[in-house]
Chain A
Amino acid sequence: MKKELICINCPQGCNLEVEFDKEKILSVEGNNCKMGLTYAEEEVFHPVRMVTTTAAVMNGFIKLLPVKTSCPIDKSLTPNIVKEISKIKAEAPIRLGDIIIKNVLNTGADILATRTVKKNV
Protein backbone atom coordinates (compact mmCIF):
# COMPACT_ATOMS: atom_id res chain seq x y z
CA MET A 1 0.00 0.00 0.00
CA LYS A 2 1.07 3.60 -0.57
CA LYS A 3 0.27 6.74 1.38
CA GLU A 4 1.29 10.38 1.20
CA LEU A 5 2.01 11.98 4.55
CA ILE A 6 3.33 15.26 5.87
CA CYS A 7 5.82 14.82 8.66
CA ILE A 8 4.89 16.90 11.71
CA ASN A 9 8.02 16.35 13.74
CA CYS A 10 9.59 19.67 12.87
CA PRO A 11 8.58 22.93 11.18
CA GLN A 12 10.00 21.77 7.84
CA GLY A 13 6.97 19.53 7.26
CA CYS A 14 8.48 17.14 4.72
CA ASN A 15 6.16 15.53 2.19
CA LEU A 16 6.60 11.77 2.63
CA GLU A 17 5.72 8.96 0.27
CA VAL A 18 5.30 5.85 2.34
CA GLU A 19 4.99 2.28 1.11
CA PHE A 20 3.87 -0.35 3.59
CA ASP A 21 2.16 -3.68 4.04
CA LYS A 22 0.06 -4.99 6.92
CA GLU A 23 2.95 -5.28 9.33
CA LYS A 24 5.74 -2.99 8.38
CA ILE A 25 6.95 0.03 6.46
CA LEU A 26 8.61 -0.96 3.20
CA SER A 27 9.97 2.41 2.13
CA VAL A 28 9.84 6.12 2.94
CA GLU A 29 10.76 8.85 0.50
CA GLY A 30 10.93 12.64 0.79
CA ASN A 31 12.18 12.86 4.36
CA ASN A 32 15.08 15.19 5.08
CA CYS A 33 16.02 13.47 8.34
CA LYS A 34 15.60 10.32 10.42
CA MET A 35 12.58 11.70 12.24
CA GLY A 36 10.64 11.22 9.01
CA LEU A 37 11.10 7.44 9.24
CA THR A 38 9.80 7.23 12.82
CA TYR A 39 6.91 9.50 11.97
CA ALA A 40 5.89 7.42 8.96
CA GLU A 41 5.91 4.22 10.97
CA GLU A 42 3.85 5.72 13.81
CA GLU A 43 1.43 7.56 11.58
CA VAL A 44 0.63 4.45 9.55
CA PHE A 45 0.27 1.97 12.40
CA HIS A 46 -0.52 3.91 15.57
CA PRO A 47 -0.68 7.69 15.14
CA VAL A 48 0.33 9.73 18.17
CA ARG A 49 0.12 13.40 19.10
CA MET A 50 1.42 15.72 21.77
CA VAL A 51 -1.26 17.36 23.89
CA THR A 52 -0.76 20.89 25.20
CA THR A 53 -3.44 22.58 27.28
CA THR A 54 -3.92 24.35 30.61
CA ALA A 55 -4.88 23.40 34.15
CA ALA A 56 -6.32 25.62 36.85
CA VAL A 57 -3.83 27.06 39.35
CA MET A 58 -4.68 27.82 42.94
CA ASN A 59 -2.84 30.62 44.78
CA GLY A 60 -0.60 31.32 41.81
CA PHE A 61 0.78 34.46 40.25
CA ILE A 62 -1.18 33.42 37.14
CA LYS A 63 -4.56 31.70 36.82
CA LEU A 64 -3.74 28.95 34.35
CA LEU A 65 -0.84 26.55 34.18
CA PRO A 66 0.29 25.53 30.70
CA VAL A 67 1.00 21.79 30.54
CA LYS A 68 2.03 19.13 28.02
CA THR A 69 2.19 15.38 27.77
CA SER A 70 5.65 14.00 28.49
CA CYS A 71 5.55 12.19 25.15
CA PRO A 72 3.16 11.91 22.22
CA ILE A 73 0.10 9.81 23.06
CA ASP A 74 -2.49 7.85 21.09
CA LYS A 75 -4.12 10.36 18.76
CA SER A 76 -7.66 9.17 19.48
CA LEU A 77 -7.20 9.90 23.20
CA THR A 78 -6.31 13.58 22.86
CA PRO A 79 -9.78 15.00 23.64
CA ASN A 80 -10.06 12.80 26.75
CA ILE A 81 -6.68 13.98 27.97
CA VAL A 82 -7.66 17.64 27.60
CA LYS A 83 -10.85 16.91 29.54
CA GLU A 84 -8.96 15.07 32.26
CA ILE A 85 -6.52 17.96 32.71
CA SER A 86 -9.33 20.50 32.87
CA LYS A 87 -10.53 18.81 36.09
CA ILE A 88 -7.23 19.38 37.87
CA LYS A 89 -6.42 22.18 40.29
CA ALA A 90 -2.69 22.60 40.64
CA GLU A 91 -1.37 24.36 43.72
CA ALA A 92 1.31 27.04 43.39
CA PRO A 93 4.28 27.15 43.67
CA ILE A 94 4.92 25.00 40.62
CA ARG A 95 8.17 24.51 38.77
CA LEU A 96 8.62 23.93 35.09
CA GLY A 97 8.78 20.18 34.53
CA ASP A 98 6.77 19.26 37.66
CA ILE A 99 4.55 16.25 37.11
CA ILE A 100 0.94 17.35 37.44
CA ILE A 101 -0.68 14.00 36.58
CA LYS A 102 1.21 10.71 36.57
CA ASN A 103 0.49 8.21 33.82
CA VAL A 104 -2.55 10.08 32.55
CA LEU A 105 -5.41 7.74 31.58
CA ASN A 106 -2.94 4.85 31.56
CA THR A 107 -1.24 6.15 28.44
CA GLY A 108 2.18 5.92 30.04
CA ALA A 109 2.59 9.66 29.60
CA ASP A 110 2.79 12.14 32.46
CA ILE A 111 1.35 15.62 32.39
CA LEU A 112 4.13 18.15 32.92
CA ALA A 113 4.04 21.82 33.86
CA THR A 114 5.61 23.95 31.13
CA ARG A 115 5.91 27.10 33.17
CA THR A 116 7.13 28.04 36.63
CA VAL A 117 4.37 29.57 38.72
CA LYS A 118 5.29 31.47 41.85
CA LYS A 119 2.93 31.68 44.77
CA ASN A 120 0.87 34.82 44.81
CA VAL A 121 1.81 36.81 47.87
Chain B
Amino acid sequence: MKKKVDAVIIGAGPAGMAAAVSLRENGIKNILLVDREPVAGGILQQCIHNGFGVHHFKEELTGPEYAERYIEQINKNKIDLWLDSCVIDIENNSKNSKTVVILSKERGISYITAKVVVLAMGCRERNRGNINIPGRRPAGIMTAGTAQKLVNIYGYLPGREVVILGSGDIGLIMARRMTWEGANVKAVIELQSYPGGLNRNIVQCLNDFNIPLYLSHTISNILGNNRIEAVEVSPLDENFEAIKSESFTLKCDTLLLSVGLIPENELSIKIGVKLDPVTRGACVDKNLMTNIPGIFSCGNVLQVHDLVDFVSEEAKNCGASAAKYINGKLEKSEEIPIRKGNLIRYVLPGKIEKGKPALLSLRPINPAENLYLVITTDTGVELFKRKYKNIFPSVMLRINIDIVPDDAEFIEIKFEK
Protein backbone atom coordinates (compact mmCIF):
# COMPACT_ATOMS: atom_id res chain seq x y z
CA MET B 1 0.00 0.00 0.00
CA LYS B 2 1.11 3.53 -0.78
CA LYS B 3 -0.12 6.58 1.10
CA LYS B 4 0.71 10.26 1.39
CA VAL B 5 0.44 12.13 4.68
CA ASP B 6 1.68 15.32 6.26
CA ALA B 7 3.24 13.70 9.29
CA VAL B 8 4.23 10.23 10.44
CA ILE B 9 4.75 9.89 14.18
CA ILE B 10 6.67 6.82 15.23
CA GLY B 11 5.55 5.55 18.63
CA ALA B 12 2.12 5.98 20.25
CA GLY B 13 3.35 6.33 23.80
CA PRO B 14 2.89 9.57 25.74
CA ALA B 15 5.31 11.47 23.48
CA GLY B 16 3.88 10.29 20.17
CA MET B 17 0.28 10.81 21.24
CA ALA B 18 0.94 14.31 22.55
CA ALA B 19 2.87 15.21 19.40
CA ALA B 20 -0.01 13.92 17.24
CA VAL B 21 -2.63 15.85 19.17
CA SER B 22 -0.49 18.96 19.03
CA LEU B 23 -0.01 18.65 15.26
CA ARG B 24 -3.79 18.38 14.87
CA GLU B 25 -4.40 21.35 17.17
CA ASN B 26 -2.01 23.31 14.98
CA GLY B 27 -4.08 22.61 11.91
CA ILE B 28 -2.41 19.52 10.42
CA LYS B 29 -5.05 17.16 9.08
CA ASN B 30 -3.28 14.20 7.60
CA ILE B 31 -1.42 12.46 10.41
CA LEU B 32 -0.39 8.83 10.83
CA LEU B 33 0.55 7.55 14.27
CA VAL B 34 2.30 4.17 14.29
CA ASP B 35 3.02 1.79 17.15
CA ARG B 36 4.31 -1.76 17.32
CA GLU B 37 2.20 -2.77 20.31
CA PRO B 38 -1.43 -3.88 19.99
CA VAL B 39 -2.60 -0.90 22.09
CA ALA B 40 -1.58 2.75 22.32
CA GLY B 41 -0.12 4.19 25.49
CA GLY B 42 3.35 2.73 25.42
CA ILE B 43 4.95 1.79 28.68
CA LEU B 44 2.28 3.71 30.64
CA GLN B 45 -0.10 0.75 30.26
CA GLN B 46 2.08 -1.43 32.47
CA CYS B 47 2.73 1.38 34.98
CA ILE B 48 -0.48 0.72 36.88
CA HIS B 49 0.70 2.72 39.92
CA ASN B 50 -0.30 6.31 40.59
CA GLY B 51 1.97 9.33 40.47
CA PHE B 52 1.46 10.60 36.94
CA GLY B 53 -0.07 13.83 35.76
CA VAL B 54 0.37 16.08 38.80
CA HIS B 55 1.96 18.80 36.67
CA HIS B 56 0.15 18.27 33.39
CA PHE B 57 -3.40 17.42 34.47
CA LYS B 58 -3.15 18.91 37.98
CA GLU B 59 -4.33 15.62 39.46
CA GLU B 60 -2.69 12.36 40.29
CA LEU B 61 -3.34 9.56 37.81
CA THR B 62 -2.18 6.01 37.22
CA GLY B 63 -0.27 5.17 34.03
CA PRO B 64 -3.27 3.67 32.18
CA GLU B 65 -5.44 6.65 33.17
CA TYR B 66 -2.85 9.09 31.86
CA ALA B 67 -2.60 7.11 28.63
CA GLU B 68 -6.36 6.94 28.23
CA ARG B 69 -6.73 10.72 28.39
CA TYR B 70 -4.52 10.97 25.32
CA ILE B 71 -6.10 7.97 23.59
CA GLU B 72 -9.45 9.75 23.92
CA GLN B 73 -7.98 12.83 22.25
CA ILE B 74 -6.52 10.68 19.47
CA ASN B 75 -9.94 9.13 18.89
CA LYS B 76 -11.82 12.41 19.18
CA ASN B 77 -9.51 14.04 16.65
CA LYS B 78 -9.85 10.99 14.38
CA ILE B 79 -6.08 10.65 14.12
CA ASP B 80 -5.14 7.62 12.05
CA LEU B 81 -3.54 5.10 14.44
CA TRP B 82 -1.85 1.95 13.17
CA LEU B 83 -1.16 -0.62 15.88
CA ASP B 84 0.89 -3.83 15.66
CA SER B 85 2.90 -1.90 13.11
CA CYS B 86 6.64 -1.53 12.94
CA VAL B 87 8.62 1.05 11.01
CA ILE B 88 11.31 -0.93 9.25
CA ASP B 89 12.89 1.80 7.15
CA ILE B 90 12.93 5.55 6.58
CA GLU B 91 14.30 7.27 3.51
CA ASN B 92 15.00 10.99 3.46
CA ASN B 93 14.01 11.94 -0.11
CA SER B 94 14.16 15.69 0.29
CA LYS B 95 13.48 18.52 2.69
CA ASN B 96 9.75 17.95 2.40
CA SER B 97 9.50 14.27 1.62
CA LYS B 98 10.39 11.19 3.62
CA THR B 99 9.36 7.65 2.83
CA VAL B 100 8.49 5.53 5.84
CA VAL B 101 8.22 1.77 5.29
CA ILE B 102 5.90 0.05 7.73
CA LEU B 103 5.41 -3.65 8.37
CA SER B 104 2.00 -4.06 9.92
CA LYS B 105 0.29 -7.18 11.21
CA GLU B 106 -2.94 -6.19 9.49
CA ARG B 107 -1.71 -4.40 6.39
CA GLY B 108 1.59 -6.05 5.52
CA ILE B 109 4.08 -3.65 3.90
CA SER B 110 3.08 -0.01 3.39
CA TYR B 111 5.03 2.88 1.94
CA ILE B 112 4.08 6.21 3.48
CA THR B 113 5.34 9.49 2.10
CA ALA B 114 5.35 12.25 4.68
CA LYS B 115 6.47 15.84 4.93
CA VAL B 116 7.71 15.38 8.45
CA VAL B 117 8.59 12.47 10.68
CA VAL B 118 8.40 12.74 14.46
CA LEU B 119 10.61 10.25 16.28
CA ALA B 120 8.88 9.22 19.52
CA MET B 121 10.13 5.67 20.07
CA GLY B 122 10.84 6.03 23.77
CA CYS B 123 13.59 4.12 25.48
CA ARG B 124 14.61 0.65 26.59
CA GLU B 125 16.13 -0.60 29.80
CA ARG B 126 19.79 -1.34 30.19
CA ASN B 127 20.29 -5.03 30.75
CA ARG B 128 22.81 -7.42 32.21
CA GLY B 129 24.96 -7.42 29.09
CA ASN B 130 25.19 -3.63 29.07
CA ILE B 131 26.56 -3.49 32.60
CA ASN B 132 28.44 -6.78 32.46
CA ILE B 133 27.48 -8.29 35.79
CA PRO B 134 29.88 -11.19 36.22
CA GLY B 135 28.67 -14.65 37.13
CA ARG B 136 26.62 -17.52 35.82
CA ARG B 137 23.80 -17.22 33.35
CA PRO B 138 20.74 -18.86 34.89
CA ALA B 139 17.05 -18.08 34.38
CA GLY B 140 15.41 -15.56 36.71
CA ILE B 141 17.38 -12.45 35.71
CA MET B 142 15.37 -9.77 33.96
CA THR B 143 14.87 -6.05 33.78
CA ALA B 144 12.37 -4.51 36.19
CA GLY B 145 10.26 -3.44 33.21
CA THR B 146 10.01 -6.99 31.90
CA ALA B 147 8.93 -8.12 35.37
CA GLN B 148 6.42 -5.28 35.45
CA LYS B 149 4.93 -6.45 32.18
CA LEU B 150 4.81 -10.05 33.38
CA VAL B 151 3.03 -9.12 36.61
CA ASN B 152 0.73 -6.30 35.49
CA ILE B 153 -0.16 -7.26 31.92
CA TYR B 154 0.38 -11.04 31.79
CA GLY B 155 -0.48 -11.87 35.40
CA TYR B 156 2.52 -14.01 36.29
CA LEU B 157 4.97 -13.57 39.14
CA PRO B 158 8.54 -14.18 37.96
CA GLY B 159 9.72 -15.38 41.40
CA ARG B 160 9.28 -15.19 45.15
CA GLU B 161 12.69 -14.29 46.59
CA VAL B 162 13.74 -11.10 44.89
CA VAL B 163 16.84 -8.92 44.82
CA ILE B 164 16.78 -5.71 42.82
CA LEU B 165 19.91 -4.12 41.37
CA GLY B 166 19.56 -0.39 40.81
CA SER B 167 17.27 2.01 42.59
CA GLY B 168 15.68 3.58 39.53
CA ASP B 169 11.97 4.29 39.88
CA ILE B 170 10.86 1.17 37.99
CA GLY B 171 12.92 -0.97 40.35
CA LEU B 172 11.45 0.71 43.42
CA ILE B 173 7.90 0.43 42.09
CA MET B 174 8.46 -3.26 41.37
CA ALA B 175 9.77 -3.81 44.91
CA ARG B 176 6.36 -2.75 46.23
CA ARG B 177 4.41 -4.43 43.47
CA MET B 178 6.08 -7.82 43.99
CA THR B 179 5.74 -7.51 47.76
CA TRP B 180 2.01 -6.86 47.40
CA GLU B 181 1.73 -9.95 45.21
CA GLY B 182 3.36 -12.11 47.86
CA ALA B 183 7.05 -12.01 46.97
CA ASN B 184 9.81 -11.38 49.49
CA VAL B 185 11.98 -8.51 48.27
CA LYS B 186 15.26 -8.93 50.09
CA ALA B 187 17.19 -5.84 49.10
CA VAL B 188 17.75 -3.10 46.61
CA ILE B 189 21.39 -2.62 45.65
CA GLU B 190 22.58 0.74 44.30
CA LEU B 191 25.96 1.47 42.75
CA GLN B 192 25.85 5.20 43.52
CA SER B 193 25.97 6.78 46.94
CA TYR B 194 22.45 8.16 46.42
CA PRO B 195 19.24 6.56 45.19
CA GLY B 196 18.38 6.67 41.49
CA GLY B 197 14.64 7.06 41.97
CA LEU B 198 12.37 9.64 43.53
CA ASN B 199 12.35 10.19 47.28
CA ARG B 200 8.66 9.41 47.54
CA ASN B 201 9.27 5.98 46.04
CA ILE B 202 11.98 5.23 48.59
CA VAL B 203 9.37 5.95 51.27
CA GLN B 204 6.33 4.18 49.89
CA CYS B 205 8.03 1.31 48.06
CA LEU B 206 10.96 0.42 50.32
CA ASN B 207 10.58 1.96 53.77
CA ASP B 208 6.93 0.94 54.07
CA PHE B 209 7.98 -2.69 53.70
CA ASN B 210 11.33 -2.49 55.52
CA ILE B 211 13.22 -3.38 52.36
CA PRO B 212 16.88 -2.48 52.86
CA LEU B 213 18.62 -0.20 50.35
CA TYR B 214 22.37 -0.77 50.02
CA LEU B 215 23.97 2.36 48.58
CA SER B 216 27.51 2.20 47.08
CA HIS B 217 27.15 -1.56 46.61
CA THR B 218 27.03 -3.80 43.59
CA ILE B 219 26.39 -7.38 42.61
CA SER B 220 29.78 -8.96 42.12
CA ASN B 221 28.69 -12.50 41.28
CA ILE B 222 25.62 -14.47 40.25
CA LEU B 223 25.19 -18.05 41.43
CA GLY B 224 22.96 -20.85 40.18
CA ASN B 225 22.96 -23.07 37.10
CA ASN B 226 19.37 -23.45 35.91
CA ARG B 227 17.68 -20.85 38.06
CA ILE B 228 19.45 -18.06 39.92
CA GLU B 229 20.11 -19.20 43.49
CA ALA B 230 21.95 -16.28 45.05
CA VAL B 231 23.84 -13.09 44.39
CA GLU B 232 27.07 -11.92 45.93
CA VAL B 233 26.83 -8.29 47.05
CA SER B 234 29.95 -6.18 47.55
CA PRO B 235 30.52 -2.65 48.77
CA LEU B 236 32.35 -0.39 46.34
CA ASP B 237 35.51 1.60 46.84
CA GLU B 238 35.91 5.14 45.54
CA ASN B 239 36.89 3.81 42.07
CA PHE B 240 33.67 1.79 41.90
CA GLU B 241 35.60 -1.47 42.26
CA ALA B 242 33.97 -4.18 44.35
CA ILE B 243 35.59 -4.81 47.74
CA LYS B 244 35.33 -8.59 47.59
CA SER B 245 36.67 -9.10 51.11
CA GLU B 246 33.55 -7.42 52.50
CA SER B 247 31.03 -9.15 50.26
CA PHE B 248 28.00 -11.07 51.45
CA THR B 249 25.54 -13.45 49.82
CA LEU B 250 21.80 -13.01 49.39
CA LYS B 251 19.76 -16.04 48.41
CA CYS B 252 17.16 -15.33 45.77
CA ASP B 253 15.29 -16.85 42.83
CA THR B 254 14.90 -13.62 40.91
CA LEU B 255 17.15 -10.67 40.13
CA LEU B 256 15.55 -7.56 38.71
CA LEU B 257 17.65 -4.90 37.02
CA SER B 258 16.73 -1.25 37.20
CA VAL B 259 20.00 0.20 36.00
CA GLY B 260 19.04 2.95 33.63
CA LEU B 261 17.31 3.66 30.36
CA ILE B 262 18.68 4.08 26.86
CA PRO B 263 16.84 6.09 24.19
CA GLU B 264 15.82 3.66 21.45
CA ASN B 265 17.46 5.46 18.54
CA GLU B 266 18.26 2.60 16.17
CA LEU B 267 15.91 3.97 13.50
CA SER B 268 17.32 7.46 13.96
CA ILE B 269 20.86 6.18 13.43
CA LYS B 270 19.73 4.37 10.27
CA ILE B 271 18.63 7.62 8.64
CA GLY B 272 21.66 9.57 9.76
CA VAL B 273 20.29 11.55 12.70
CA LYS B 274 23.18 12.88 14.73
CA LEU B 275 23.16 11.74 18.37
CA ASP B 276 24.51 13.40 21.49
CA PRO B 277 26.95 11.02 23.20
CA VAL B 278 25.78 12.11 26.68
CA THR B 279 21.99 11.93 26.31
CA ARG B 280 22.17 9.24 23.59
CA GLY B 281 19.27 11.13 22.05
CA ALA B 282 19.27 13.25 18.91
CA CYS B 283 21.06 16.60 18.75
CA VAL B 284 18.18 19.01 18.28
CA ASP B 285 17.65 22.70 17.86
CA LYS B 286 15.19 24.80 19.81
CA ASN B 287 12.36 23.46 17.63
CA LEU B 288 13.33 19.90 18.56
CA MET B 289 14.32 19.29 14.95
CA THR B 290 17.27 16.99 14.32
CA ASN B 291 20.13 17.64 11.91
CA ILE B 292 17.88 16.26 9.14
CA PRO B 293 15.35 18.92 8.11
CA GLY B 294 11.82 17.63 8.66
CA ILE B 295 12.79 14.98 11.20
CA PHE B 296 11.85 15.85 14.77
CA SER B 297 12.42 14.05 18.05
CA CYS B 298 10.70 14.22 21.44
CA GLY B 299 10.07 12.34 24.66
CA ASN B 300 12.33 9.64 26.04
CA VAL B 301 13.91 8.94 22.66
CA LEU B 302 15.32 12.47 22.84
CA GLN B 303 16.28 12.49 26.51
CA VAL B 304 15.22 10.21 29.34
CA HIS B 305 12.75 12.14 31.47
CA ASP B 306 11.86 11.60 35.13
CA LEU B 307 8.20 12.47 34.66
CA VAL B 308 5.75 11.72 31.90
CA ASP B 309 4.25 15.19 32.38
CA PHE B 310 7.40 16.71 30.94
CA VAL B 311 7.36 14.22 28.07
CA SER B 312 3.89 15.45 27.15
CA GLU B 313 4.98 19.06 27.32
CA GLU B 314 8.08 18.46 25.21
CA ALA B 315 6.05 16.51 22.65
CA LYS B 316 3.44 19.24 22.49
CA ASN B 317 6.13 21.79 21.63
CA CYS B 318 7.60 19.37 19.13
CA GLY B 319 4.22 18.90 17.43
CA ALA B 320 3.77 22.67 17.20
CA SER B 321 7.18 23.08 15.56
CA ALA B 322 6.53 20.22 13.17
CA ALA B 323 3.20 21.84 12.17
CA LYS B 324 4.99 25.09 11.41
CA TYR B 325 7.54 23.20 9.34
CA ILE B 326 4.79 21.55 7.29
CA ASN B 327 3.23 24.95 6.63
CA GLY B 328 6.61 26.39 5.69
CA LYS B 329 6.46 28.74 8.65
CA LEU B 330 9.20 27.39 10.84
CA GLU B 331 11.31 30.46 11.04
CA LYS B 332 14.72 30.42 12.46
CA SER B 333 16.32 33.48 13.84
CA GLU B 334 20.02 33.43 14.51
CA GLU B 335 21.09 30.59 16.80
CA ILE B 336 23.68 30.75 19.53
CA PRO B 337 25.25 27.82 21.38
CA ILE B 338 24.91 26.98 25.06
CA ARG B 339 28.15 26.26 26.88
CA LYS B 340 28.16 23.74 29.70
CA GLY B 341 29.91 25.11 32.77
CA ASN B 342 30.64 23.71 36.22
CA LEU B 343 28.74 20.49 37.18
CA ILE B 344 26.48 20.42 34.11
CA ARG B 345 26.18 16.91 32.63
CA TYR B 346 24.06 17.95 29.71
CA VAL B 347 21.71 20.69 28.63
CA LEU B 348 19.07 20.47 25.94
CA PRO B 349 18.64 21.90 23.34
CA GLY B 350 22.20 22.56 22.30
CA LYS B 351 21.34 25.82 20.57
CA ILE B 352 18.81 28.56 21.24
CA GLU B 353 17.53 31.48 19.20
CA LYS B 354 18.29 35.13 19.73
CA GLY B 355 15.38 37.33 20.67
CA LYS B 356 13.16 34.38 21.68
CA PRO B 357 12.23 32.66 24.93
CA ALA B 358 13.82 29.26 25.57
CA LEU B 359 13.09 26.19 27.68
CA LEU B 360 16.17 24.30 28.86
CA SER B 361 16.37 20.81 30.37
CA LEU B 362 19.53 19.83 32.20
CA ARG B 363 21.05 17.40 34.66
CA PRO B 364 24.01 17.87 37.01
CA ILE B 365 27.03 15.55 36.98
CA ASN B 366 27.06 14.85 40.73
CA PRO B 367 24.71 15.28 43.64
CA ALA B 368 25.53 18.49 45.51
CA GLU B 369 24.10 20.85 48.12
CA ASN B 370 23.41 24.56 48.35
CA LEU B 371 24.39 25.73 44.91
CA TYR B 372 23.17 28.44 42.59
CA LEU B 373 22.29 27.63 39.02
CA VAL B 374 23.42 30.61 36.98
CA ILE B 375 22.84 31.37 33.33
CA THR B 376 24.79 34.27 31.82
CA THR B 377 25.52 35.62 28.36
CA ASP B 378 29.00 36.23 27.00
CA THR B 379 28.24 39.92 27.41
CA GLY B 380 27.86 39.42 31.15
CA VAL B 381 24.07 39.63 31.42
CA GLU B 382 22.57 37.31 34.02
CA LEU B 383 19.54 35.57 32.54
CA PHE B 384 18.71 33.26 35.43
CA LYS B 385 19.79 32.58 38.99
CA ARG B 386 18.21 30.25 41.53
CA LYS B 387 19.43 28.54 44.68
CA TYR B 388 19.05 24.76 44.96
CA LYS B 389 19.23 23.05 48.34
CA ASN B 390 19.95 19.68 46.73
CA ILE B 391 20.71 18.65 43.18
CA PHE B 392 20.83 15.06 41.89
CA PRO B 393 21.74 13.62 38.49
CA SER B 394 18.50 11.66 38.78
CA VAL B 395 16.41 14.83 38.93
CA MET B 396 16.14 16.80 35.71
CA LEU B 397 15.91 20.58 36.05
CA ARG B 398 13.84 22.65 33.66
CA ILE B 399 14.52 26.32 33.23
CA ASN B 400 12.55 28.96 31.35
CA ILE B 401 14.49 31.85 29.90
CA ASP B 402 12.20 34.81 29.16
CA ILE B 403 14.16 36.17 26.25
CA VAL B 404 17.59 35.50 24.79
CA PRO B 405 19.32 38.86 24.20
CA ASP B 406 19.98 39.82 20.59
CA ASP B 407 23.58 40.79 21.17
CA ALA B 408 24.68 37.53 22.84
CA GLU B 409 27.12 35.22 21.00
CA PHE B 410 26.68 32.33 23.43
CA ILE B 411 25.24 31.68 26.86
CA GLU B 412 26.84 29.74 29.68
CA ILE B 413 25.07 27.62 32.24
CA LYS B 414 26.75 26.47 35.44
CA PHE B 415 26.40 25.74 39.13
CA GLU B 416 28.28 27.92 41.60
CA LYS B 417 28.52 28.53 45.32
Contacts and interface: CB of A to CB of B under 8 A. Distances in A.
| A–B contact, 8 Å CB criterion (strictly below) | yes
Interface stretch (B44-52, B261-269, B322-330, B333-341): B44-52
B152 A64 contact: yes
A66 to B, nearest CB: 4
Contacts of B152: 54, 64, 66
A10 B54 contact: yes
Interface stretch (B62-70, B114-122, B282-290): B62-70
B204 A66 contact: no
Contacts, number: 73
Contacts of B239: none
B180 A68 contact: no
A75 B180 CA distance: 12
Interface in B197-214: 198-200, 202-204, 208
Interface in B123-181: 152-155, 180-181
Contacts of B200: 6-11, 13
B80 interface: no
Classify chain A: how many residues form its interface, as a range.
20 to 34
Contacts of B154: 63-64
Contact of A13 (B65, B153, B181, B198): B198
Interface string A46-67: 0001111110100000111010
Contacts of A96: 64-65, 68
Nearest to B153: A64
B51 A11 contact: yes
Contacts of B60: 10
B208 to A, nearest CB: 7
B79 interface: no
A29 B154 CA distance: 44
Contacts of B204: 8, 49
B307 interface: yes
Given A6-B200, A114-B62, 18 more contacts: A6-B203, A9-B200, A11-B54, A11-B198, A50-B50, A56-B155, A62-B153, A63-B155, A64-B152, A64-B153, A64-B154, A66-B48, A66-B152, A68-B48, A68-B62, A79-B180, A82-B180, A82-B181
Interface of B: 39, 45, 48-51, 54, 60-65, 68, 152-155, 180-181, 198-200, 202-204, 208, 306-307
21 contacts: A8-B200, A9-B200, A10-B200, A11-B198, A11-B306, A11-B307, A13-B199, A51-B180, A53-B48, A53-B180, A64-B154, A66-B152, A79-B180, A96-B65, A114-B48, A114-B62, A114-B64, A115-B45, A115-B65, A115-B68, A116-B68
Lowest 4 A-B CB distances belong to which pairs?
Answer: A13-B199, A66-B48, A8-B200, A115-B64
